[in-house]
Amino acid sequence: MEKVIYQDLGRISYKDAWDYQQVKLKEVIDRKLGNRDLAEAEKTKQEHYLLFCEHNPVYTLGRNGDFSNLLLNEKGLAEHGIEFFKINRGGDITYHGLGQIVGYPIFDMDCFFTDIHKYVRFLEEVIIRTIAEYGLNGIRIEGSTGVWLASDGTRPPRKICAIGIHLSRWVTMHGFAFNVNANLDHFNFIIPCGITDKAVTSLHLEVGYAVDYEEVKSKTKKHFQELFEFEYA
C-alpha cells in the first residue's frame, strides 16, 4: 500500500505554496526517474504528498483561461488586497482565500492509476463524500469540473469546490479549493471558471452555521485515504 505524507501548511501565500509544490514535485519526479533503471530490490520507495492550506486572497487563471473573466484591473486588485497569478493548471479563473480548504495532492499516479479523468472524478468524490456528512448532496455537472449543489428552484446550481490540476510525468500538482467558511464577496470580481449561469456557495451557508474547519479537514483527509487506498506516513 502506498504511503502519503500529509502536511498542513496553514495560512500561506499562494506564491510560497506554489514554490513548495514545485520542490515536492521535483522530489517525486527525481525519485521516479532514479528508480527507472534499477532492479526492483534496489528501488527507493516512492513518496507522495497531500498538502492542505489556506491562502490569502488570490485569483488564479489556468493556462487556457480568459483574462476577460477577471473583472478588476491592476489598481482594483491592489485596492481590494487581492493577488493574481497565471498558472499552469487546467481550468479558467478561480478564487482562493480564507475559509477555504485548498488541497494539493502530489501523487505519482503510476503508483495508483494512470487515468486523468478518473483522478479528477476521485477528487470530486472526496468532496462529495465529505459534504454528505453534513447532509448535502453534491453532484457533478457534465462539462463543468468540480462539485456542485443542484438548483433548488430558487437558486441556480452552486459550486462548492473548484478543481484544477496539472500533471508532469504522471505526477500531479495543483488540486482543489473547497469553500468551507468562505467569504464569497471576492467571487463578485470574477466570472468563476468562466461560467455565467451558475453560482458559488460555501458549506457554512448551506448548513446555516459556521462549521468546524479542523473537523472538515479531518473528514476530507479520511475520504482521500479511503478512495485512493493509501496509508498516511
Q: Annotated active-site positions, please?
A: 193
Cell of residue 54, nine digits: 489556506
Query: How many CB atoms are located within 10 Å of the residue 233 CB?
Result: 12
